[in-house]
Structure 1
């Protein structure tokens, strides 16, 4: 097995790894405890019992061997002495996985007994299922008045049970209790980490996670406190940025308005119409750039999601573009109404459709459908322009990163960055792809379950 496949056996989560490590430690400790108990405690006890038992058997064999011939019948009537072994007797006791200690006891006792007895005194074991009374027996070859005979010695079931099985069950129960306790403790420790991960995902999507509790263990409380300070600093930075951009927009738009008014009241439009139109175009460009900065600063996180019809919104936008001379072919699949932020969603779709108009010009198309397996709405806005031009799609979504080459329309490079932020705000994704047959397409995937960030 390769290293990579071996690593896949180990769980990825810290919770699962800790639980697995705990189970392994408890199992190893139990196995080691049983091994130590059997090897250093039970084995010597069984050895001593077998030695004492062997001494009694040797003494009994000596007594039987010296029995007078006229007393043989009396001895045979008192003891179970047979000339032949019964059919069920065997050289070793049967093993049982369920009753492993009894099997270990029998095997160890018989082997030790054979070592202590003389070589001519053979030992055989007969299980209870082969006897008439259901009792287990040891058969030992003795000598009655010089003749070999098999002596039956019943082994009561109680001789195997010295409380070890109960001790083992109790040990396993304590191990299970330790595992359950550690599982509960680990879940308690893992809960604030899960909350921290959820809050981090919320921040990355542009949401506000709120204040994390800091009343847990010291180490986790320190991490939660640092996260709270970080989110507070980010919130303050966002507020400062929005205020600064709003101030810049206001301060710049005020003289722009005055400039428009001054141009309208001057004689420039009548004397040089081309210059006046060019100036008006520059003013419109500045106003558009300011609006894009404001859109990027205001991500729409404070807008409340409402249940809406995505297809209806797309159809309305397509009609607006058609009024400006840009026809989008619509292929709108069935999408159930779901919660989204209407203004942010309109801004996102409008940016993508505007990109298709500016960079694609022809082959404009919008397709929608529902992915039932993932419970998501899918939107594709495509064109037949020059495509991505070999550029990295992920890099194009970064702020101030512009696509296209010479002759392409100018802009701030914030359009796709705005779309990316709004898509993540709704719990969705944006992917840019080259379109089969030429051109480019923007693919939006939005959850239908209302998982938009609040």
Structure 2
């Protein structure tokens, strides 16, 4: 498992956050090392020189002549180091740097102690330094210099962090703006893969994205032209083949063959019907139904009508139709989808024919399952069976063009849905169609 996100948007945002954080840390380190620390050390050296001069004067000054806060003993609140605070870390750094530098510049017999505001009688912060008055050691109280206080750098750091957050927010909005055409491109690609027409993508964005959008527009135009050419070619082939087939049927009807050899005539008629069915399947596969306008319809009613038609031909389907509200779909394409699956169930399953429907409210989808009690998938790959010209079953199974399931999947994808083939519990096979109930999926 990697910690790096997969999306380009998240990676760019993560990189931006890392760059802003590194730049802030580097700027703070430079500020402390080259500006603040030398300034504090210079202030401590100057303060130490003043204290040494004062100590020299106090050595020759009578005890009663000096009007300073001199004590023989340290107060109870004095300590070796200044109090530390994690929240005000820079103030702690200033205090500790100043006290350590001051100790380096003072003689060894002049120790330094810090007394905080809470431990002082008057609530003030002060430094206690041991000096010598008339040869006697005394503790001298001095106010804390400004160099040991927080001089506004914390405010500057907060302002810097605020500017960093502003830069991050601005970059986030810019990245969202750049990612929007990429999202549109992804949606258009998904629509093309489902057999739809995405329309022309705008090419007025950044140069690189505009080039990608332009290339995608040219690709979709080429695919549309190729589909039109294929449909026209298949329509021409169908017309050219069906014309002599019609003449052949007429010639057979007018000849003496039906009366002299009925079996041969019936066989010939069967072959002609098979050729016609094959041609129709090719035309169905070529015409995906993308040009058909979706209309709001009752899917259960369409299934019930088809089941009644099959029942008239001697094939009974057990119906278990759930509550599915009317939604938009392409009626002719949907009828072709259901007929192909029901015909497959009759040809390969023969018995145990069943159609179940229900609505998945959580996913906002309609589900249709067409099942049988035949030999099942026979260990074949369900995904391979959905490929064009791939026929299921083994020896003794009905023959066909292998386009039925390919047509079903293309129509399902055109509606934004999916086709799943699976083994049926208890034997047999079932085909599951999941269709979105939203109108956007059929546009």
- With normalisation by structure 1, the TM-score equals 0.94
Change (3 A) 1:159 1:50: closer
Tell me the secondary structure at the aligned position of residue 332 of structure 2: helix
Q: Deviations over 1:324-371 (max 9, x none)?
A: 111111111221211111111111011011101000101111111122
Report which stretch shifted further, 234-243 or 312-321: 312-321
Q: Deviations over 1:113-164 (max 9, x none)?
A: 1222222222111121223433211111222222222211122678624442
Unaligned runs of 5+ in 1: 1-6, 72-76
CA contact (8 A) 2:322 2:356 kept: yes
Q: Deviations over 1:194-219 (max 9, x none)?
A: 11111111110111111111122221
- Measured in 2, the distance between the counterparts of 1:219 and 1:389 equals 50
The alpha-carbon deviation at position 78 of structure 1 amounts to 2.2
Change (3 A) 1:222 1:345: same
Change (3 A) 1:70 1:321: closer
The alpha-carbon deviation at position 44 of structure 1 amounts to 1.3
Change (3 A) 1:307 1:453: closer
CA contact (8 A) 1:136 1:156 kept: no
Tell me the secondary structure at the aligned position of residue 441 of structure 2: coil
Q: Deviations over 1:16-48 (max 9, x none)?
A: 110110011001110111011101221111111
Report which stretch shifted further, 265-274 or 19-28: 265-274
Change (3 A) 1:220 1:70: closer
CA contact (8 A) 1:80 1:151 kept: yes
Q: Deviations over 1:271-323 (max 9, x none)?
A: 11111111111111111111111110111111111111111111111111111
Correspondence list, 1:198-347, <5 A:
198-347=187-336
Tell me the secondary structure at the aligned position of residue 381 of structure 1: strand
Corresponding residue for residue 38 of structure 2: 44
CA contact (8 A) 1:340 1:452 kept: no
CA contact (8 A) 2:385 2:392 kept: yes
Tell me the secondary structure at the aligned position of residue 420 of structure 1: helix
Change (3 A) 1:68 1:17: same
Change (3 A) 1:70 1:131: closer
The alpha-carbon deviation at position 111 of structure 1 amounts to 1.2
CA contact (8 A) 1:202 1:453 kept: no
The alpha-carbon deviation at position 187 of structure 1 amounts to 1.7
The alpha-carbon deviation at position 176 of structure 1 amounts to 2.2
Q: Which runs of 4+ in 1 moved over 3 A?
A: 156-159
Tell me the secondary structure at the aligned position of residue 366 of structure 1: strand
Report which stretch shifted further, 403-412 or 325-334: 325-334
Tell me the secondary structure at the aligned position of residue 308 of structure 2: helix
Report which stretch shifted further, 80-89 or 12-21: 80-89
CA contact (8 A) 1:139 1:151 kept: yes
CA contact (8 A) 1:128 1:135 kept: yes
The alpha-carbon deviation at position 415 of structure 1 amounts to 0.3
The alpha-carbon deviation at position 69 of structure 1 amounts to 4.3
The alpha-carbon deviation at position 449 of structure 1 amounts to 1.5
- With normalisation by structure 2, the TM-score equals 0.96
Q: Deviations over 1:158-184 (max 9, x none)?
A: 862444234323322332232222222
- Measured in 2, the distance between the counterparts of 1:430 and 1:444 equals 5
Unaligned runs of 5+ in 2: none
Q: How many residue pairs end up in the alignment?
A: 443
Tell me the secondary structure at the aligned position of residue 138 of structure 2: strand
Report which stretch shifted further, 26-35 or 302-311: 302-311
- Measured in 2, the distance between the counterparts of 1:192 and 1:78 equals 79
- Measured in 2, the distance between the counterparts of 1:191 and 1:414 equals 38
The alpha-carbon deviation at position 88 of structure 1 amounts to 2.1
Report which stretch shifted further, 117-126 or 390-399: 117-126
CA contact (8 A) 2:95 2:148 kept: no
